[in-house]
Amino acid sequence: MESLQSLSKRITSTTKLQGIVKSMKTLAAVSIRQYERALESLDSFVEVIDQGLIVALRETPLPHSPPDSPEAARVLVVFGSDQGLCGRFNEKLAEFIGDHLRSHHIEAQHLKLLVIGARIGSRLEASGLPITEQFWVPGSVSGINMNVYQVLLTLEQWLSQERIRHVEIFYNRYERLTAAEPSHEVLLPLDKGHLQGLASSPWQGPTLPSHRIRPDKLFSGLVRQYLMVSLFRAQAESLASEQASRLRSLQSAEKNIEEHVEELQGEFRIKRQATVTSELLDLVAGFKAALSTNNS
């Protein structure tokens, strides 16, 4: 049986842990909001890129897309997490990637994996997928730009040195209700249907656009911006999803801690009452013994 002192210490330490969990919940909620604002700001940027592509595609032909083949070299860019306390955030994404590769009959020897996040990297390696390059997850919105820049430099190096036809990105999409929803996008080759739609779109401005850049240079520059925005969005979505998953885990932990504190407090009250009752019985027994001694 625990003493009142040990129970009191357990209640104090558990209450302190409850305060830490509440602080972590607040931090996660604040982080989610900053990533939401970053995602909202991308919409106008994407619109500007599309307007530029409308102009460039009027003067340059659509890029040629090589035929798809399971044996073609592929790059997977995977956005995960470095930290825990986010439920099955990394596990779900790793399972999603494995299912995708199996359903498309893609072998590991045809892959190069660029992974952002130590935990998702270990999950993928455990499933038999070797990691070619790995980066740390940025800790805030301000760190996403540098992270995306590193990814782009690595992709450009691989595309120039090796026969790579496909670049795909995998990440957990931010959903308010589900917190984390594994998602997949094809980064390269470019979506030909989208480009054809832009090429046939009429210009919406009151005057015709003009530029002094060679059409092919303009197109390649806009494509680079498009790739940057796509990677930035995937990273921001992943970070918002990670914090939302962490918030859910912390809410569950906080509920369990509250229930545990109530149990400890109830046990403390019962123990204290039992101690008081025992002391009173000892006093009564002592009084009766003294009384009987005096009478005799």
**H helices then E strands: how many in the chain?**
6, 5
In order along its 296 residues, the chain shows pLDDT tens digits of 567 788 888 888 888 888 888 888 888 888 899 999 999 889 888 888 998 888 888 888 877 766 665 566 799 999 999 988 888 999 999 999 999 999 988 888 889 999 999 999 999 999 999 899 999 999 889 999 999 999 999 999 998 888 787 999 999 999 876 668 999 999 998 888 888 888 888 888 777 777 788 888 988 899 999 999 999 999 999 999 999 999 888 888 888 888 888 888 888 888 888 777 877 777 777 767 777 776 66
pLDDT, residue 179, reads: 67
- In this prediction, residue 35 carries a pLDDT of 93
Of 76, 79, 9, nearest to 235 by C-alpha is: 79
Mapped onto helix, strand or coil, the DSSP state of residue 288 is helix
Report the candidate in 72, 98, 67, 115 with the shortest Cα–Cα distance to residue 235: 115
Across the chain, where does the E strand assignment appear? 73-79, 111-116, 133-135, 164-175, 179-188
Query: Using an 8 Å Cβ cutoff, are 172 and 236 in contact?
Result: no
pTM of the model: 0.83
Write down the pLDDT at residue 177: 65
In this predicted structure, what is the pLDDT of residue 89? 93
- Give the contacts of 150 (CB within 8 A, at least 6 positions apart): 135
